[in-house]
Amino acid sequence: MRNTGQRQDIHTLLSLYSESHRNHTNELIHIVCVPLIVFSLLGIIWAIHPVAAVAVVAAALWYYFQLSKPFAIGMLAMSTVMLVLLAMLPPATVLALSIAIFVLSWVGQFIGHQIEGKKPSFLDDLRFLLIGPLFVLGFLYRRLNVAY
């Protein structure tokens, strides 16, 4: 069980998260499924009320800024694109589409962890639900040589 009582820096959190994400296939599944989960979760909240989705993004961004300004900026860009896409969808389709994407993406995640042979990190520490998107963004940042 991970120590959740102390504040940890972004590098420690990513290192802990990566312990159950070392298999290349699982990493690829995460690169696809984690952004889809974020999008679908925002879509479900958007279907309840768009302002609620914006508030959730704002709260997550506050947390991300505490960890890493470069990651927070990346998540701001990603979240903005997702919210704009949700705003462009016909309102009647947002909830059903979001639920379908959410379920299929989580199935993918659990298949990835079955391949990995390790349970998802968030089962030990719920913060890892917020670290997952940073783990994926980290792949892009390393490719672009962006420090975080």
Domain range list for the chain:
30-144
Specify the pLDDT at position 120: 85
> What pLDDT, on a 0 to 100 scale, did the predictor assign at position 142?
93
| pLDDT at residue 7 in the model | 61
Q: Which two tokens stand for residue 100?
A: 């379908």
Q: Which amino acid is at 70?
A: P
Q: How far apart are CA 136 and CA 5, in angstroms?
A: 25
pLDDT at 90: 97
Q: What is the model's pLDDT at position 39? A: 98
* Tens of pLDDT, residue by residue, the chain (148 residues): 344 445 679 999 999 999 889 899 999 999 999 999 999 999 999 999 999 999 999 999 999 999 999 999 999 999 999 999 999 999 999 999 999 999 999 999 999 999 999 888 888 888 899 999 999 999 999 999 999 8
Element (H, E) at 3: none
